[in-house]
Chain A
Amino acid sequence: MTLPFVLDFTLRTVAIGAAVLGIVSGTLGTYAVLRGQSLLGDAISHAALPGIAVAFLLTGVRSPVVLVLGAAAAGWIGALLVLQISKQTRIPYDASLGLVLSVFFGFGMVLLTFIQRLPSGNQAGLDTFLFGQAAALLPRDVVVMSVLGLIAISATILLWKELKLLAFDREFGASIGLPMRALDVTLTSLLVFAIVIGLQTVGVVLMSAILIAPAAAARQWSDRLGRIVLLAALFGAAAGVTGAVISASTPRLPTGPTIVLCAGAIMLVSLLAAPRRGLLAAHVRSRRSHRNLRELGVLEDMYTLARHHEDPLHPHPAVVLRTMTSGPESVQPGLRGLERRGWARRVDGDLWALTDSGLESAHAEFAAPVAGEAPGVRSLHGGRR
């Protein structure tokens, strides 16, 4: 009787925690991705590890508030270092990211090994911070995560238009008097919040994936910042809850990688299936446009023949049309396409003629080209470019 209840309770805690982390990561991750700072999140999360270790060494307790504070402080210092190094020195941005990430992470690993050799160290279980351990989430952890998350989301909503301008056109923002540097520091701090929230569940190594993947996936589905942020939060929550629940109910399955796999699946589907930016849609579009162009090419040739004939609807053999094209491909698919449109008809055997509507369309398309517009543009895109 008690076991299912305990399990349910644990699972509920895990699910709520993972949802919070997914929502906050999705939201802040959107800004990181749009600003081309996806890997700043990676540097911050790796840089947080020594902070966790130092916080434990100083206090000797494994309380979430203490560890989160340590992680946030170290992550923040790491982010600041990255920005300062690339600004003050000639070391490029990606190199300073790599520097901070590896040096901080290395230092964190040394401290972690040291802690594990301490008599009290084994109980600390700080190594779960590497790949995350959702099952270890306690209600008090979730409370800390939710409070931080609420602060981060509220700040994003309150500073909506300022952050949008920061991401889109920083210099213009500065020219109208917005404190862009302060906004940048604020946004980076919010990113630190998002990362710190996820550290215990996802772990420092893979935390950046849960920032990047939901945001990149959401970008596939919409062209509006508001919708992208909402979708990214939703995707993040879905990946977080699914991954955390799977790993918490399966022994010895680290949570971080499981969540990241779920986020990766969402990313993959979005990459392929999104209506406008998806790969499938792009493929279909390009196939359709090729077919269209081929049909229009045949139509133009038929129109040329029609203009040199007393009866514009007089049929001509497909062989003649074939000689008018320079490409290797057959004119048959084009003719059949025009037939489907009702613009051409097969008179007899290999003889083809324009229909009335075909002649009309050909006339509209080719008789008086509008300056600056290639033939076929109108029928290809219905007047839109």
Chain B
Amino acid sequence: MNGTAIEVRDLTVAYRDTPVLWDVDLDLPAGVLMAIVGPNGAGKTTLIKAILGLVEPAAGLVLVNGSPYRSERRAVAYVPQRGSVDWDFPTSVLDVVMMGMYGRLGWLRRPGKAEREAGMQALEKVAMADFAGRQISQLSGGQQQRVFLARALAQDASIYLMDEPFQGVDATTERAIVVLLQELRSQGNTVAVVHHDLQTVPEYFDWVLLLNVRRIAAGTVAEAFTDENLRATYGGRVPYLRGTSAEPPPEPFRLDRASGLE
């Protein structure tokens, strides 16, 4: 799949009088793995929610695969922040994953055998199949994150928007998730991820969007992830030292091998 997966034009979003996003433009080509970085309050979450139509923009336009989001919903999967739901809710892991298929199921139809199988497949991809029947309150933070990832995989989309999928995840699980995201990209999908660890941006991602209410820069990591742009994004206090990670990136772990280490 070629072309532009997500097109954002002059997007402005405000909460009451305060603009959270100001005149943001973005052309996200299909088939890339993009990090969205910026300081707290930069509007990263708001950008994702605006693309998904969850917040009303004050101005601007969002197109997904060249069409309004409304008509391209099936093409987009969403991983919300882990803290956005009540993990003591009485439901099982497989149940949460099958929620990814509610949109396709339509009204009045309950998930059945086909959905259960698809849900199990998604759980296997994140090495959580053994936890299918588990009540979600018994999961660790990293396991919760993987359940949300599995739900997004169950949506069977081509564009994945993820809000801090590495939050509260240990280093091993983080690498396993990265491998999964890179697999998604190599299958031709587009993945955009809100990310906080600037150190790992060049290693994990091939595209980057630097955001601080305004769009500071966007493009390949080589073009956009420059000292100058980082300073512009973080106001001089760059929490990142370049050139310190000269050693080659360590061997990526696999989720199925890492699963016991949660």
Contact = CB atoms under 8 A, between A and B. Distances in A.
A195 B192 CA distance: 45
Contact of A225 (B86, B90, B108): B90
A158 interface: yes
A177 B91 contact: no
A175 B110 CA distance: 19
Interface residues of A, number: 29
Given A171-B80, A175-B54, A176-B155, A162 B90 contact: no
Interface string A355-385: 0000000000000001110000000000001
Interface string B35-74: 0000000000000010011100000000000000010010
A164 B151 CA distance: 15
Contacts of A222: 90
B89 A175 contact: no
B102 A178 contact: yes
The prevalent SS among residues of B at the interface is mixed
Given A34-B89, A168-B91, A176 B54 contact: no
Nearest to A371: B261
Contact of B102 (A162, A167, A219, A225): A162
Nearest to A226: B90
A36 B89 CA distance: 11
Contact of A168 (B76, B89, B105, B261): B89
Contact of A219 (B76, B78, B90): B90
A169 B148 CA distance: 11
A117 interface: no
B90 A224 contact: yes
Which of B70, B85, B102, B108 has the largest count of A CB atoms less than 10 A from its CB? B102
Contact of B103 (A34, A36, A164, A177): A177
B110 to A, nearest CB: 6
B91 A172 contact: no
Which of A162, A172, A371 has the largest count of B CB atoms less than 10 A from its CB? A172
A161 interface: yes
A284 B68 CA distance: 57
A372 B261 contact: yes
A25 B156 CA distance: 38
B222 to A, nearest CB: 32
Given A175-B54, A372-B262, A169 B85 contact: yes
Interface string B226-253: 0000000000000000000000000000
A165 interface: yes
A175 B52 contact: yes
A161 B84 contact: no
A369 B141 CA distance: 23
Contact of A172 (B78, B135, B138): B78
Interface of A: 34, 36, 158, 160-162, 164-165, 167-169, 171-178, 219, 222-225, 228, 370-372, 385
Given A224-B90, A385-B138, 9 more contacts: A34-B90, A36-B86, A168-B85, A169-B85, A175-B53, A175-B76, A225-B90, A225-B91, A372-B262
